[in-house]
Structure 1
Amino acid sequence: MSDPNSSSSQVAQPNLSASAVLGLRNQGDAEWVRLRGLQFSALAGQTFHRVYAHAVMAVLVAQLYFEHISLVWLVGWVAALALINFRGTRFDRSLANTDRRALQPTEFFQQTINSVVSGMLWSVPILFFAPLGSAGDLAALLLILAMLTLGSITFYSAAPAAVASLTALVGLATATHLIIFEMWFLAVCSGFFTVTALLGTITVCRTFLKARLAECNLAEKEEVVSLLLREFEENEADWLWEIDTNRKLRSISPRFAFALGYRQEEAEGKPLMELISSKNCKPSDYAPSLRELAGRLKHRENFSNLLVHVTINGDERWWELSGTPMRDDRDRFVGFRGVGSDVTEQRESSEKIAYLARYDTLTSLPNRLQLHEALGDALSYAAQWRTRCALMMVDLDRFKAVNDSLGHMTGDKLLAQVSSRLQSILGKDQMCGRLGGDEFAIVIRDASNSDRIEDIARKVIATLSEPYEVDQHTLYVGASVGSAYGPRDGDTVEELMRNADLALYRAKDTGGGAHCRFEPALHASAEERRRLEASLRQAILSDEFVLHYQPVVDARSEKIVSFEALVRWNSPEHGFVSPGKFIPLAEDTRLIVPIGRWVLQQACMEARAWPEHVKVNVNVSPEQLLEPHFHEEVIEALATSGLRPERLEVEVTESIFVRDATTARNSLEQIMALGCSVALDDFGTGYSSLGYLRTLRFSTIKVDRSFVQGAAQKSNESLAIINAVVAMAKSLDMTTTAEGVETPEEAELIRNLGCDKIQGFYFGRPMVKEDARRLFKRHTRQLKAG
C-alpha cells in the first residue's frame, strides 16, 4: 500500500458499502489505505473493553460448568482464551499509529485471524460444554454468548471484520448445537439473532468509521487554519486586528502594533482612527478612504479589501483592510475583527505601471494610448458643441542621419530635447505626445480658428529646426507637419489619424520643412499607391518588366563604350508607368531587391551579344547593397550569362553611404574583387563627401545632368563644379561621364571641359535590345564601307 500522507489533506467520505466497511474490498488508492488506517488506529483505545468483556464472560462460563467439566479442560480453555486475548491486545496496540502510516495487508490479515481464533475458542462451550450441563445451564450459556456478541459489536467497532468473524463463528456453533439436539425453534431464533447481529455489526462499524472520518477531517481543517493563521501573522506585511464597541484596539498582535509604529502594550486600548489619521485631524477632515472606513465601523457593516490612505507617525501609507462585526452568543455587537496588509509598495508599483502604460519613457510625453483617448474626447466635444478639433502629425526631417552617424543614444537625447521644445510652445487644450520613433502628434481640442492651426504648425517647424547641442555636437533637423480636422476629415480616431498621416506624407514628399492639410485628393493618391504596389508585386511574378539600353559614347571618337540598362514597366492595368514613379515605391517596399536581381541577370545575358569591348552599366539600389549576399547574386549573374566581370559596371548613388556605409563599402569591395568596375552616379547632388572617394576606388564618376544643363546656360557655378570633378577624377585615376547631353553644343562643351564619356539623347535614347544590336551592325557596315 502507498503512503497515506500522499493523499489529499482532506479524506472524502467514499461509498461505505458492507464489503468496504468489513475490509473485503479495497480500491488500492491512498484514500482507501487511509480508511483502513482510521479504523485500526482506534483499536488501542478499545482493547481494554474487549479484554474485560472476554474475561468476565469466561469466568461466568467456567463457574457455570465447574461441576460438569474437568478442571483441566476448563483451565486449558481459559488459558487459551487469555493467551489469544493477550496476543491480540499487544497487536492492537501496535496499530495505534496507522492513521499516520500505511496499514500493511499482513497486519489486516493477522488482526482478523486473532478474532477467528477467538471465535473458535468461544464455540467450544456451546459445542462441548453445553451437552454435559442442564437445560438451565444451556439457557445461561446462550445468554452469555449473546452478551459477548452484543458487547463486541458495541465496544469493538474499530475492527468490523473481527467482530463479524466472532459473531458468525459463535452463531454457527450455537445453531449447530441446537439442531443436533432438535431444538428447532431455538435454532431458528439463534440464526435470526446471528444475522441481525451481523447487520448490526456493519451498521455500527459504518457509523463509527464515518465519525472517524469526520473527526480526522475536522482535525486537519483546524491544523490547516492554525497553520495559515500562524503564517499570516508571521508575514511581515499582513496582520490581524480587533477593536471593541468603542473602536479601541484590543488583543493587538505584535505585527499590527509594529505596523502602527507602537509597542504592543502602548497601542492596546487606543482608538484605531486616531492612530491611522494625521495628528489632530478631525473626522470631518478625514481623507475619503478614511471616512468610508469610519462609516463602515459606525454602521457595523462588513467590508472587504477596502483601500485606506493612512498616516502613521507622519508617514503616508496605503492599507488594505477587511473586517466583519463580532457578536456574542446573545447576538450582541462586541466589536470588529479583521485582517489587513500594507500595500504601499504594490500601489506605487501599480501607479508606475499605469504611468508606463500611458506615457513614453524616453520623452515623458503621453504615448499613443493616451493620445487616442485625448483625440476621442476632442471628437466627442466637437460633436457635442458643433465645433472642430484638430490632429497634427509631426515627423522629424533628417533624423535618421543622426542615428546612423552618431548612434541611437545621441538620437534619444535629441528626441528628449525635441519633446521639451514641443511642450514649451503648446498652450491650453493642446496635448503633445509621441507616437513612436521620431513621430509626434498634437491634439488640439478647439480648432475652430483655422489660422491658429497654421500658426502652431509654423511655430513647430521653426522651433524644431533650430540647432541642437547634444554631447558637444551641433545637430540640425527639421520637421514636417500634416494636419486633419475633426469631424470634417474624420469622425473617428482611426480615420482622423490616418488622414493626418496622409497629409504628413504629402509634406514629406515636398521635401520636408512644410505643413500640409489633409485634402480628399490624398485618399485617391494613397489608393493609387496601394493599387500600384499590388500591381508591382504581380508584375514581378508575371514578367511585365523590360530592359531598355541607353548608349554611352567616348567623348572624342563618339564610339559606343557601354550601355546603361534601364528598367521599364508597361502595366496591363496602369499602362506605361514612369520609373520615377515605381522605382521609389519599389525601394520603399523593398521590391527593388527582386527587381534589381532580375535586371542584373537580364543585362548580363544581353551584353553577351555585344562586341567584347562594350560594357553594360547596371544601377544598384542601396536596398540591394544592404543584402548580405549581394556579391553572390553578381557571381551568379556572371556565371549564368558567361559575361566577363570586366564588362560589368555597377552604378551606385551617394545615398548608399548615408544608411550603412560599412555594409555598402564591404559589398562594393567584394564586387571590385571579382573584376567588376563601380561608377558613382549623380555625384554632387546628394550627401557629398570626399571621404568615400578616398576609401573606395571608383572607376567612373558620373556628372549629373543638372550641372551639364547649367554649364550650357553659362552658369559659372556649374562650370566650376564640372571642372573640379574632372580634375579630381584625373588625379584619382578615374574617368568621368557627363549625363543629359541633348544638343551638339552641349556635347562640344563637355568635350572641351575634359569629360571622358558622354551619355544623353543626342547620342541615343533608351532603346530596346533589338535596336541596340542594330547600332553595332550599322557601325560594322560603316567600317566595311570605309
Structure 2
Amino acid sequence: MIDNAPIDERTLRQKLPVRAVLGLAPGPDLNWPRLWMLQHRELARLMVPRIACHAVGALLAAVMFFRFVPLPLLVCWLVWLTVSVYIYTQTDAQFLRSDKPALNGREARGHLVGSIMLGVGWASLMPLLQLVAGPEIAIRGLILGAGIAVGCVVLMGVVPLSALAFSGLLTIGAATGFWLAGSTEMIVFVGFFAFFGFGSIWIRAQDFLRFAIAETALVEKTHTVSLLLREFEENEADWLWQIDKSRRVRSASPRFAFAMNATPSELEGKAFFELISDDDWESGPGADSLRMLADHLNARENFSNLMVRVKIDGMPRWLELSGTPILGEKGEYLGYRGVGSDVTEQRKSSEKIAYLARYDTLTGLPNRLMLHEALGEAMEEARDMRRRCAFVMIDLDRFKAVNDSLGHQIGDRLLEQVSGRLAEIAGENELCGRLGGDEFGIVVRDACDFGAVDSLARKVIERLSQPYEVDAHTLFVGASAGSALAPRDGKTVEDLMRNADLALYRAKDGGRGVHFPYEPSLHADAEERRQLEFSLRKALEKDELLLNFQPVVDAKTEQVVSFEALIRWQSEEHGLVSPGKFIPLAEDTRLIVPIGTWVLKQACKEAMAWPGHVKVNVNVSPEQLVEPDFVSTVVDALTRSGLDPRRLEIEVTESIFLSDAEVARVALAQVMALGCQVALDDFGTGYSSLGYLRKLQFSTIKVDRSFVQGAAQGSSESLAIVRAVVAMAHSLEMKTTAEGVESEEEARLVRTMGCDRIQGFYFGRPMSSDDARSLFQTDYRELRA
C-alpha cells in the first residue's frame, strides 16, 4: 500500500492532494494507483443498487410524465438512459473481473464517460419538462432529480470525479430549467443544494480513502505478525513457558517440553526450579544466575534476556529467559509466563570469541590485550598496597634465521615449545603471554626488588637458550630481555611497556643473550636515535654523505689491486657520525636502499679516475638485494660512469641468505652475468653454511679480522680456520682477502698461510678520494702523456 513508508497517525490525518483524490495524478508517499483501484471496485460492488436507483427513477418519470411529454420524445430519453446505464455497468463489470492490483490514470478517467452520459440524461429532464409541460410539471422533475442526486452522493461518492461530473450536470439541468421558467431565485436554491452535495461527495471520498489506507496497513501488519509467529513456532530454539503462583509448570508447550527433554504431560505440575537445577544449585556454577531468576520471581517484576546457567538431565546448559507476571481481573497474582530459548551453542561461541580475543591461538598463552589488562590490574593493586610490580619483555635472538631457513611451520612449532617453557617457569606471581611474532612478555604482580626480577629474567634466558628438537632438527635460539618496574619506571601501562621495550632494545644492541633493566638514560638514547633518523633522511638532500676508500693490496707484490668504498656521514647537526651508529639505523628504516644506490653510483664514478687494473669494492645490504630494481641500479651506475663491469666487485655477507634467499641468489647471478664480481665478506662469523659457496660462484672470500688477529696471537682454532678457508677457496678457484691486518707480522703470517690479498691499517687507512688518486700520480702522468 505504501511505497517504503510506514502508515502512521500523521499519514492518516494529513491533507490528501485534490488531484490524487480525483484520480487525475498520483500524489506523494502513498500508492495511489492501488487506492484508485479500491475506489472503483467499491463503486462496482454497488453496481446493482445504482442500476436499481436509475431504473426506479426512469420508471417513475415514465409514469409521472407520459401524459405531458410526447411519447417519441419520452422513448428517446429512456433509450439514452438505458444505453448510458449499460455502458456504465460494463465498466464496473470489468473492474470486478480484473485482478490488477493497481489502476492507471487513463483507466480512472475512462470511467467518467458513463457518468457524463447518465448526467446528461437526467440533467435534460427538467428543461424538457419546462418546455413541453410547464413549470408545475417541471417542479416534479426537480424533486425526482433531487432524489437521484442524493443517491449519487451515497452510491457514487467513493469515486469523486464521476460523482461530481454526474451531480454537476444535474445542477446545470436544474438551473437551466428554472432559468427557462424565469425563476432566478430558485437558481440560488439549486446552487445552495449543489454546494452541500459536492461537499458530501468530497467528504465521502476522503473518508473512504483514509479507511482504505488504514485497512491496508492493518492487513500488512497482521500479515507481518503472522509471519513472525510462524517463524517463532518453527524455530525449535524458542519456546513459551508458564508457571503458577506456586512456581509449578502450567500449559507446557511442545517446544518447552522438547527443550526440557520431556513430554508436555510429564512437565505439567512439576516445580520449575527442579526442572532446571539439581541438588547443588545454591553453590554450583549457575548459583548466581538461578538466584537472580528467583529474585525476579519473588519481586513479581518483568525481566528480559536473563541468562541462566541450568542443568537438564545432568548436562549444563544456558537458557535465555524473559517473563512477565500474570494478573487476574482484580489484579491478583496468578503466576508467570514468558519466552525462553536454549542459547548454549551461542554461549559457547561467545566464550570462544572472548577466549580468542585474549589468548594467542598458536601458543595458548595470553595475548597482548590480556597482558595489557593484567599489567593494568597489577599496577593498580601495587599502587593500592604500596608495592611494586614489573613487566619483562623477551625477544628471541635467532628466530628469524630459523623461520627463513626452515619455514614458518617449523618456526611455529618452535614458538609452541618456547611458550611451554615459559609456562613452566611462571609461578602464581607471574603471567606469561605472547606479544606477537617472537616477542613475549611477563607480568610480575609483586616485584619485591630488582634482584627478583633480574633472577627471573636470567632464568628465562637460560631456559630458552637450551636446544630444541623440532621435526628431527636441533635448533638453537637465544633470548634477550628488558624490564621495567612500576611505579618507578612508569605510571601507566603504556609507559611501562614502552620502557621495557627500550631496555630490551638496549639488551639486543649490547650483545644479546642478556637482561637489561630500564634506565632513564635510555630515553635519551631513543631520542638521539630519533633525531639521527630525522637527520639521516635529509643527509642525501644536504650532500652530507661522502666516501672514503681503503686499499686492498696483492699479498705478494703489495701493489694496490682495489679499493673498498666506505661511506661516512658528516652531519650538520651531529658532526661526524660513526658508521656503526648510522648504518644499522639506515637498515632498520630501509634508508639503506637510497643510500646504497648513491654509494654505488659515486664509487663507480670515482673508479674511473684510477688505473684500469684497479677495482672498486662496494658493500651491498640485504635490503638492497631484495629490491626488484637492484640489477637495473647496477646497470645504471655502470652506464652513467662508463666503468667496465669487471672492475666492480659487490661485497655481501652471509646474512643475505637468511631472508628471501632465492631472490638474493637470482639478483647476484644477474649481476655476475653482467661481468661484475661478487665477494663474500665476513665469512664464518654469521649463520654459515658451505651450501652458500655451492649456490653462487663467488670471486673472493674475505677472512674476518677476528680470525686474522686470533691467528696472530697464536690461537690454534683461528689458525686452523684461516688455513681451511684458504684451502677451500683455492679448491673452488676463489681468491681470499685477509681483513684487519695492522702490523708487518700479521701481514707476513697471512701471506705464508696463502691469502691472495691483504686489507688493513698496515697498508692504508680509509682515505679521501684525493688521497686515493695520489697513490697513482705516476700512472696518471703517463696516461696524460
Same fold (TM over 0.5): yes
Gaps of 5+ in 2: none
Distance change (3 Å), C-alpha of 1:666 and 1:297: same
Share of identical aligned residues, percent?
Answer: 56
Query: SS in structure 2 opposite 1:95?
Result: helix
1:638 corresponding residue in structure 2: 638
Summarize deviations over 1:691-711 as a string: whole Å, max 9, x none.
322333222222222233333
Query: SS in structure 1 opposite 2:350?
Result: helix
Q: Given the alignment of the two structures, is residue 218 of structure 1 paired with residue 227 of structure 2, yes or no?
A: no
- Deviation of residue 262 (structure 1)? 3.6
The separation in 2 between residues aligned to 1:295 and 1:58, in whole angstroms, is 80
Alignment of 1:591-602 (within 5 A): 591-602=591-602
1:404 corresponding residue in structure 2: 404
Q: Given the alignment of the two structures, is residue 68 of structure 1 paired with residue 68 of structure 2, yes or no?
A: yes
Contact 1:490–1:499 (CA under 8 A) maintained in structure 2: yes
1:651 corresponding residue in structure 2: 651
2:277 corresponding residue in structure 1: 278
Q: Which moved more, 1:17-26 or 1:279-288?
A: 279-288
Alignment of 1:27-176 (within 5 A): 27=27, 31-70=31-70, 73-74=73-74, 77-96=77-96, 101-129=101-129, 133=133, 137-176=137-176
2:705 corresponding residue in structure 1: 705
- Deviation of residue 365 (structure 1)? 0.8
Query: SS in structure 2 opposite 1:714?
Result: coil
Contact 2:281–2:287 (CA under 8 A) maintained in structure 1: no
Contact 1:9–1:220 (CA under 8 A) maintained in structure 2: no
Paired letter, 1:496: L
The separation in 2 between residues aligned to 1:111 and 1:366, in whole angstroms, is 79
Distance change (3 Å), C-alpha of 1:498 and 1:40: same
- Deviation of residue 266 (structure 1)? 5.1
Alignment of 1:505-516 (within 5 A): 505-516=505-516
Distance change (3 Å), C-alpha of 1:332 and 1:40: farther
Paired letter, 2:571: S
1:414 corresponding residue in structure 2: 414
Aligned residue-pair number: 780
Alignment of 1:657-736 (within 5 A): 657-736=657-736
Contact 1:392–1:483 (CA under 8 A) maintained in structure 2: yes
The separation in 1 between residues aligned to 2:171 and 2:336, in whole angstroms, is 63
Distance change (3 Å), C-alpha of 1:154 and 1:694: closer
Contact 2:391–2:444 (CA under 8 A) maintained in structure 1: yes
Summarize deviations over 1:340-396 as a string: whole Å, max 9, x none.
433322222221111111111111111111111111111112222221110001111
Contact 1:21–1:206 (CA under 8 A) maintained in structure 2: yes
Alignment of 1:122-271 (within 5 A): 122-129=122-129, 133=133, 137-241=137-241, 253-263=253-263, 267=267, 269-271=268-270
Q: Given the alignment of the two structures, is residue 545 of structure 1 paired with residue 545 of structure 2, yes or no?
A: yes
Q: Which moved more, 1:471-480 or 1:488-497?
A: 471-480
1:490 corresponding residue in structure 2: 490
Contact 2:2–2:29 (CA under 8 A) maintained in structure 1: no
Summarize deviations over 1:19-49 as a string: whole Å, max 9, x none.
4433345449862212212211211332232
Contact 1:7–1:31 (CA under 8 A) maintained in structure 2: no
The separation in 1 between residues aligned to 2:190 and 2:256, in whole angstroms, is 70
Query: SS in structure 1 opposite 2:617?
Result: strand
Query: SS in structure 2 opposite 1:455?
Result: helix
Distance change (3 Å), C-alpha of 1:54 and 1:579: same
Contact 1:257–1:263 (CA under 8 A) maintained in structure 2: yes
- Deviation of residue 714 (structure 1)? 3.1
Contact 1:40–1:98 (CA under 8 A) maintained in structure 2: no
Contact 2:302–2:324 (CA under 8 A) maintained in structure 1: yes
1:447 corresponding residue in structure 2: 447
Paired letter, 2:622: P
Distance change (3 Å), C-alpha of 1:52 and 1:259: farther
- Deviation of residue 735 (structure 1)? 2.2
- Deviation of residue 486 (structure 1)? 0.5
Q: Given the alignment of the two structures, is residue 395 of structure 1 paired with residue 390 of structure 2, yes or no?
A: no
- Deviation of residue 322 (structure 1)? 3.2
Paired letter, 2:22: L
- Deviation of residue 729 (structure 1)? 2.6
The separation in 2 between residues aligned to 1:783 and 1:639, in whole angstroms, is 23
- Deviation of residue 239 (structure 1)? 4.0
Q: Given the alignment of the two structures, is residue 470 of structure 1 paired with residue 439 of structure 2, yes or no?
A: no
Query: SS in structure 2 opposite 1:431?
Result: strand
Alignment of 1:303-314 (within 5 A): 303-314=303-314
Query: SS in structure 2 opposite 1:541?
Result: coil
- Deviation of residue 431 (structure 1)? 0.8
Q: Which moved more, 1:377-386 or 1:127-136?
A: 127-136
Query: SS in structure 1 opposite 2:46?
Result: helix
Summarize deviations over 1:708-752 as a string: whole Å, max 9, x none.
333333333333333333333322222222222222333233333
Query: SS in structure 2 opposite 1:609?
Result: coil
Gaps of 5+ in 1: none
Distance change (3 Å), C-alpha of 1:126 and 1:257: farther
Query: SS in structure 1 opposite 2:490?
Result: coil
Distance change (3 Å), C-alpha of 1:78 and 1:610: same
Query: SS in structure 1 opposite 2:558?
Result: coil
Q: Which moved more, 1:139-148 or 1:385-394?
A: 139-148
The separation in 2 between residues aligned to 1:273 and 1:488, in whole angstroms, is 57
Paired letter, 1:261: N
Paired letter, 2:548: H
Q: Given the alignment of the two structures, is residue 382 of structure 1 paired with residue 362 of structure 2, yes or no?
A: no
Summarize deviations over 1:734-778 as a string: whole Å, max 9, x none.
222222222233323333333222222222221111111111115
Distance change (3 Å), C-alpha of 1:193 and 1:542: same
1:365 corresponding residue in structure 2: 365
Distance change (3 Å), C-alpha of 1:72 and 1:292: farther
Q: Which moved more, 1:252-261 or 1:579-588?
A: 252-261
Contact 1:47–1:156 (CA under 8 A) maintained in structure 2: no
Alignment of 1:529-540 (within 5 A): 529-540=529-540
The separation in 1 between residues aligned to 2:532 and 2:282, in whole angstroms, is 72
Paired letter, 1:572: E
The separation in 1 between residues aligned to 2:745 and 2:348, in whole angstroms, is 79
Distance change (3 Å), C-alpha of 1:242 and 1:719: closer
2:570 corresponding residue in structure 1: 570
Distance change (3 Å), C-alpha of 1:209 and 1:97: farther
Contact 1:42–1:96 (CA under 8 A) maintained in structure 2: no
Paired letter, 2:533: E
Q: Which moved more, 1:582-591 or 1:24-33?
A: 24-33
Contact 2:376–2:493 (CA under 8 A) maintained in structure 1: yes
Contact 1:273–1:294 (CA under 8 A) maintained in structure 2: no
The separation in 1 between residues aligned to 2:695 and 2:217, in whole angstroms, is 86
- Deviation of residue 257 (structure 1)? 3.9
The separation in 2 between residues aligned to 1:687 and 1:587, in whole angstroms, is 19
- Deviation of residue 412 (structure 1)? 0.8
The separation in 2 between residues aligned to 1:769 and 1:18, in whole angstroms, is 96
Paired letter, 1:353: I
- Deviation of residue 280 (structure 1)? 6.4
The separation in 2 between residues aligned to 1:495 and 1:97, in whole angstroms, is 82
- Deviation of residue 271 (structure 1)? 4.9
2:519 corresponding residue in structure 1: 519
Distance change (3 Å), C-alpha of 1:202 and 1:483: same
Q: Could you tell me the TM-score, scaled by structure 1's length? A: 0.92
The separation in 2 between residues aligned to 1:325 and 1:63, in whole angstroms, is 73
Paired letter, 1:561: V
Contact 2:551–2:563 (CA under 8 A) maintained in structure 1: yes
Contact 1:740–1:759 (CA under 8 A) maintained in structure 2: yes
The separation in 2 between residues aligned to 1:284 and 1:685, in whole angstroms, is 65
Contact 2:304–2:321 (CA under 8 A) maintained in structure 1: yes
